Structure 1
Amino acid sequence: MLTLDWMFFAVAGPAVIFAGISKGGFGSGAAFAAASILALVVEPGLALGVMLPLLMLIDVASLRPYWRKWDGQAALLLILGGMPGVALGAALYRIAEPDVLRVLIGAISIAFVLWQVGLAPKLMARSARRLPLWAGGVAGLVAGFTSFVSHAGGPPAAVYLLSMKLTKTQYQATTVLVFWVINIAKFIPYAFLGMFTLETGMANLVLAPFALLGAWLGVRAHRLVPERLFFGLTYALLSLTGIKLIWDGLT
């Protein structure tokens, strides 16, 4: 049961703004945390149902600033992998235990950041090679599944995209496109699973301005933040996301 009281909106408003900033400017890495924050005050399934339309609104608001600035090959690989990942999430949602997967993805996220920022220059140059094409499909599969069960598709997609050495705008635009498609694919299964109610729809109407504000702030921040700092912030967000996933999985 979703109670639309002051406590809900006091928690949900800032959480949705944070999701908008993350998705609009910093590669979606930590946007999933909004659903986790909402789960503090409502049942987790309803938290997912509240967030999906808002994430879709943020996607639409973010598409125009990044239109055609993405890496087409990377986006296609992630989307093609993401579709069966969404289908797998829909099939296993009621019986799957997502905590083990949260711990695994969190550990991979943190290990990747340590690998990227902690190597000597010679080893770092060697690690600059792109991951193979099949890795994009695998990352998309994991992203689609984790996005379905917890809106946490950002980290697996980031692991692949950060290895591609894209510019900050290519990276951001690619994540916007990929999760726009994945979130659309999630909508019908969510509806069949009963995650949307009259109360979640009312909550979406009230929270929509917060989502648009967050997306606008994210796009502005993306344009103002230098590229080196941008990727530093992205690694920081990926680390925080990984820690949060592990914490959620263990507790």
Structure 2
Amino acid sequence: MIEDPWFYAAAIPAVLIVGISKGGFAAGFGILGVPLMALVISPLQAAAILLPILLLMDVVGLWAYRRQFDMPNLRILVPAAAIGILIGWLTASLVREEHVALIVGIVALAFAADFWTGQKREGAPGRSIPKGGFWGMVAGFTSFVAHAGGPPFQVYMLPQRLDKTLYVGTSVVFFWAVNLIKVPPYLALGQFDTTNLTTALVLMPLAPIGIMLGVRLHHMIPEEPFYRLCYAGVTLVGIKLVYDAVSSMIAG
């Protein structure tokens, strides 16, 4: 088990932030979990520690939103994400994480800019197999490589303007499926060792606490502010991804 107190100073708020995001509040901010933990340990180790915790959060989230998700969208997104994860696994030794993070960050910022500059446009795009297939595959790939599946998912889902609880429930089910599919490749790449799994077990009690806080806060926010908060989250996450990627490339 990791014993460094500075690790837990970063990991405890990171796990709580991820849980609150998965519970339906501040959607998108969960992507900050790995970068926070990576202040103290390597991003790869942070990802390996966080994945078992994410799986527990997914179970809690599934219970909280068990009757509220959009199955037609999931039928499009989940198979596409599985293809993206497979591509990520096959190219794991070739793809640099910072390059993927930079691309995802730019996409997120462009998407958010389109919203902030075009809020008065009428109508919202519906489900689309081509678009859902593309963004689902991108979400699976970026989730595997850089733990950044949120922005591509939001690019496809947010413009549909689903009921906010239906949107969150769909997100919970989608990323539960994505995280499950990621387990065998992570095992094959040797990311789960005794140290990482033991540390994950120590942090796991925080998972349901964060989730339930997020669920409570989610139900306190009206529909329109919820969507504005989502797009604000996409904006901030995009800035964070671009900054981290550029900093890494300059340092490298």
Q: TM-score, normalising length from structure 1?
A: 0.94
Where does residue 44 of structure 1 map in the other structure? 43
How far the C-alpha of 1:21 sits from its partner, in A, is 0.5
The answer to which of 26-35 and 75-84 deviates more is 26-35
Q: State yes or no: 1:233 paired with 2:235.
A: no
2:139 is aligned with 1:143? yes
Partner amino acid, structure 1, of 2:31: F
**Structure 1's 141 and 27: CA in aligned 2 closer, same or farther, altered over 3 A?**
farther
- 1:12-51 matched pairs, under 5 angstroms: 12-26=11-25, 28-51=27-50
What does the per-residue CA deviation read over 1:15-55, in whole Å, with 9 as the maximum and x for residues that have no partner? 00000001111475121211111111112211110010111
Distance 1:27 1:192, change over 3 A: farther
Contact 1:27 1:172 (C-alpha < 8 Å) held by counterparts: no
Equivalent position of 1:166 in the other structure? 162
* 1:197 CA drift (Å): 1.2
The answer to whether structure 1 residue 125 and structure 2 residue 111 are counterparts is no
After the TM superposition, which residues 67-82 of structure 1 pair with which residues of structure 2 at under 5 Å, given as runs?
A: 67-82=66-81
Q: State how far apart, in whole Å, the 1-side matches of 2:37 and 2:12 are.
A: 10
Offset at residue 154 of structure 1 (A): 0.5
Conserved? CA contact 1:85–1:140, under 8 Å: yes
1:146–1:120 distance in 2 versus 1, CA, 3 Å: closer
Residue aligned with 2:29, SS = coil
Displacement of 1:216: 0.9
Give ranges in structure 1 of 5+ residues lacking alignment.
none
The equivalent of 1:5 in structure 2 is 4
TM alignment of 1:67-106, pairs within 5 A: 67-106=66-105
RMSD: 1.5
Among all aligned residue pairs of Structure 1 and Structure 2, give the percentage whose two residues are the same amino acid.
38
The equivalent position to 2:218 in structure 1, one of 203, 222, 242, is 222
SS at structure 1 position matched to 2:191: coil
Tell me, in whole angstroms, the C-alpha distance in 1 between the residues paired with 2:109 and 2:207.
Answer: 28
Equivalenced residues, count: 247
- Give the direction of change, closer, same or farther, for the CA distance of 1:41–1:86 in structure 2 (3 Å limit): same
Match of residue 250 from structure 2: none
TM-score for both structures, normalised by structure 2: 0.93
